[in-house]
Amino acid sequence: MMPESGKKIIILYILQILRKYTDMNHTMTQQQIAEKLREEYGLDVNRTTVKRNITDLIDAGYDIQYTEVVRSHTDKKTGEKEENVIYTDLYYQHDFTESELRMLIDGLLFSRSVPYKQRRQLIDKLGKLGSAYFNQRMNHVRCMSADSPQNPELFHTIDILDEAITNRKQIRITYGHYGTDMKLHKSRDADGKEKRQVLNPYQMVASEGRYYLICNNDRHENVANYRIDRIMNVEMLDTPVKPRNQVVGLEEGLNLQQYVYQNLNMFSGKAEQVEMELPPGAVSLVIDFFGKHAAFTEKENGKVSCRLMVSREAMRRWAVQFAGTVRVTSPRELVEEIRQEIAKAAEQYDMPVQ
């Protein structure tokens, strides 16, 4: 006879078996579950016990799917026909589908901010949210080793930033820079002392595989974006943050989606209307970077005119990058800045400037 403790724990073992060995494409029968209980836990149970525990799990809110099959049999004593409902094709409905898990894992694989060790650990944890069949395919997933310097303080920094933003408190940080030794070094002032900055943190955002802090340096009036993976020695202060409406660029609040596209690659600055001209084939390029925020007009010369609101600094760098494809036409000051940037690049390669 099975001890009482063994009877109580059967339900947990059944749940573990369903989580590990089943999904929508891999189901089990009550008999197969009973065999797994015998193989892995040394417990001998019948299908009736399995069904009773599965029913208890379903009643407790666990998402277990199954098919009901009605089987008829004749009672040997009475000779009467009886019907019995059997649960079959049982599987555990995991919180994430395999495609959703793979999407999350891919996001970590291509993250440029998360250190390699933590990336590997997070990927392993995500893999365990799927069935054993998903984990078998995880053997084909490889997390590239760190191909750029890593900041081991990243997760600690994120925790402090999250707490400071929630409590609306200022923070004090040291902003680092990488040296030729591939290590992150503390910024220092003219006297060689560690340079500490007080920031007013408002929001963290992921962009282009990196984490940024949207904030305000307390010594300045404008909004700024700091790379979180370059923040060192962060501490939360007791002083409250500066109200957003007192920060240039955040006077009307922070619309995160709008802010990210207007500050492409997280180059901060006040957004202004920019117009440019491009060939029809480059429309996809613009949409890839700016989404639906760009407005297009077809021109008689076969070109396309595009109008959008974007930070001047972000647009200058983007326009130089794609200078062979697009041509900014307005505002005039931005056009001149781009022209000077291209001329400077030409000089770097000893090219004559017309």
> Are 9 and 71 in the same domain?
yes
Span 314-332, average pLDDT: 90
Q: Are both 169 and 240 inside the same structural domain?
A: yes
5 CB neighbour count, 10 Å cutoff: 7
Q: Are residues 39 and 106 in the same domain?
A: no
Kindly report which listed range (90-94, 129-133, 213-217, 218-222) carries the lowest average pLDDT score. 129-133
Q: How confident is the model at residue 67 (pLDDT cuts 50, 70, 90)?
A: very high
Q: Is residue 262 part of a domain?
A: no
Residue 101: both structure tokens together: 């898990």
| 279/295 same-domain check | yes
Is residue 147 assigned to a domain? no
Same domain, 14 and 65: yes
> H/E element holding 147?
none
In a domain, 259, yes or no: no
Q: Are residues 69 and 119 in the same domain?
A: no
Residues 243 and 318 in one domain: no
- Asked if residue 202 lies in contact with residue 171, where contact means CB atoms within 8 angstroms, the answer is no
Number of domains observed in the structure of the chain: 4
How confident is the model over 83-139, as pLDDT tens digits?
778 889 999 999 888 878 887 877 777 666 677 777 778 888 888 888 887 777 665
Q: Which residue has the higher pLDDT, 195 or 287?
A: 195
The one-character DSSP state at 331 is: S
Whether 57 and 15 map to the same domain: the answer is yes
- pLDDT band at 252, cuts 50/70/90? confident
Is residue 66 one of the residues assigned to a domain? yes
Within a domain: 353: no
Report the CATH number at residue 49. 1.10.10
Domain boundary among 83, 115, 140: 140
pTM over 0.75: no
pLDDT band for 209, please (50, 70, 90 cuts). Answer: low
- Domain with 133 in it: 98-140
Give the residue among 51, 50, 84 at the shortest CA–CA distance from 70.
84
Which CATH number covers residue 300?
3.30.70
Which is it for strands 295-298 and 304-311: parallel, antiparallel or unpaired?
antiparallel
Give the pLDDT confidence score for residue 251 in this predicted structure: 82
In a domain, 187, yes or no: yes
Q: Are 151 and 176 in contact (CB under 8 A)?
A: yes
Look at residue 173 and tell me if it is in a domain. Answer: yes
Mean pLDDT, residues 21-44 taken together: 92
Same domain for 83 and 116: no
Are residues 243 and 215 part of one domain?
A: yes
